[in-house]
Amino acid sequence: MIGGNDRRANSLEARDVATILHPYTNPVVHEADGPLVLARGDGIHVIDSEGNRYVEALAGLFCASLGFSESRLVEAAHRQMQALPFYHSFGGRSHEPAIELSERLIAMAPVPMSKVFFANSGSEANDTAIKLVWYYHNAIGKPRKKKIISRQRAYHGVTVASASLTGLPYTHKAFDLPLAGILHTDCPSLYHHGLPGETEEQFATRCAQSLEALILGEDPDTIGAFFAEPLMASGGCIVPPATYYEKIQAVLRRYDILLIADEVICGFGRLGTLFGSEAFGLKPDMISMAKQLSAGYQPISALMVNETIYGAVREQGGAIGTFGHGFTYSGHPVATAVALETLRIYEERDILGHVRAVAPVMQAALDGLAGHPLVGDKRGMGLIGALEITSDKATKTPFDPALGVAAKVGKFAQARGVITRAMGDMIHLCPPLIITADEIRDVVAKIGGALDDTLSWLERGN
């Protein structure tokens, strides 16, 4: 990374700063620091433009499950590019990769599912789900049942509707969001919101009671759906307390409210189950998925819907004359071919079995950092985990955000050859699913080193 005045004119860094508006980047800091320019990938590693090698301990953005040099995915893309590089699925057009991928997804689904709708991003899949909640309730003659409940700290995307589902201040602030009719109930984080001495079950009961109070306060006849990411990943790696979904789903059933599971990160083995819904007993009506669906090699997402939802779509679309929703690249042949090959690799190499074998190594190694003076909490499950940085373990007081302490841990980790992500006060770990036990120990040791570096930096007075 070449900073400020040192940045050479016409370097990639200078050209980046001159032209790119980066997602989720502080523009002022970016102009001073410049980008990290990546040149190539090799297994779980990426190599920057200056030849520095890093373990990608976040699998890019929670997606590169098979690492960065899986030749079978390259070949699958190449083959499909040669055969049929583009076609759409409007007006009943189709092709074999999309058909085979849909069949596989329906066969893998954690609950019986009827149809698959393809899109390009998690946000689009969730927007589609919101539109189907509305379409469905119009079809069944309940046009008032349109409000949607999400949770504080949830992450469901950034398009106008999915950003409204997201429960993080920076996705709303100054964007005039959330949209009216999208509500947020409690985040089920015992660490942040549990009362002193409260058990997981008691906390889960309180979350369910609070949801019910929100529903009753709004009028149950106006609430159409509840969105949940089984384990809230970006929001802080929040593992729900025991019995949470059992109690939440009992409330949803009582008021005839649909459940949509956002499996964009949890899906395809991340938690040691095929889907996060299996890990926590969710019985969703729709499931959105993306990221590990194609190991991140192609932009593709999908929304699976059950027969009840499909039946209403069929009736409504038939009456209107068409199901008036879809993207040019819905079911793109290259993206579906790569996703199909990804699912074949998961099965042939028993990636799920591998995750189950190495996940305890990662969780134990991270537990080993829980005693570090800067770590307030360690959370995780399967091959995802996070450390919450705190200035005072007993009171759980965060550092002044202006100090950017978690971001500093991320920078020190990068200097030690590990790319991770600092979000708020959290350091997230979500490595490629192919990572080995030894590589996990090495990554976590380097994160430990970065925590020590950060402590020394704080003690030096920055």
Q: Which residues bind ligand PMP (CB under 6 A)?
A: 61, 121-123, 126, 155-157, 229, 233-234, 262, 264-265, 290
Residue placing its CB nearer to ligand PMP in the complex, 98 or 231: 231
Query: Distance between CA 34 and CA 295 in Å, rounded?
Result: 28
Q: Which one, of 58, 41, 48, 42, lies nearest residue 432 by Cα?
A: 58
Q: Which helix (H) or strand (E) holds 149?
A: strand 147-151
Sign of CA dihedral 64, 66, 70, 76: negative
Supply the minimum distance, in Å, between the C-beta of residue 62 and ligand PMP.
6
Supply 286's token pair: 């729709």
Residue placing its CB nearer to ligand PMP in the complex, 224 or 299: 299
Taking each continuous run of H as one helix and of E as one strand, the counts in the chain are 17, 15
The closest residue (CB) to ligand PMP is: 122
Query: Distance between CA 134 and CA 90 in Å, rounded?
Result: 21
Cα–Cα distances in angstroms (integers) from residue 170 to residues 7, 96, 155, 177, 424, in the given order: 30, 41, 11, 10, 11
Specify the pairing of strand 223-228 against strand 258-262.
parallel
Start-to-end Cα distance in the chain: 20
* Residue for token pair 């299996």: 278
Supply the minimum distance, in Å, between the C-beta of residue 79 and ligand PMP.
25
Supply the minimum distance, in Å, between the C-beta of residue 24 and ligand PMP.
10
Residue placing its CB nearer to ligand PMP in the complex, 232 or 375: 232
Residue placing its CB nearer to ligand PMP in the complex, 212 or 262: 262
Supply the minimum distance, in Å, between the C-beta of residue 5 and ligand PMP.
34
Residue placing its CB nearer to ligand PMP in the complex, 163 or 355: 163
The 3-class SS string of 234-290 reads: CCCCECCCCCHHHHHHHHHHHCCCEEEEECCCCCCCCCCCCCHHHHHCCCCCEEEEC
Report CA 40 to chain centroid distance, whole Å: 24
For residue 238, the number of C-alpha atoms closer than 13 Å in the C-beta half-sphere is 25
Supply the minimum distance, in Å, between the C-beta of residue 302 and ligand PMP.
12
Residue placing its CB nearer to ligand PMP in the complex, 164 or 390: 164
Supply the minimum distance, in Å, between the C-beta of residue 426 and ligand PMP.
14
Supply the minimum distance, in Å, between the C-beta of residue 135 and ligand PMP.
20
Residue placing its CB nearer to ligand PMP in the complex, 33 or 262: 262
Residue placing its CB nearer to ligand PMP in the complex, 265 or 303: 265
Supply the minimum distance, in Å, between the C-beta of residue 190 and ligand PMP.
20
Cβ pair 407, 34 in contact under 8 A: no
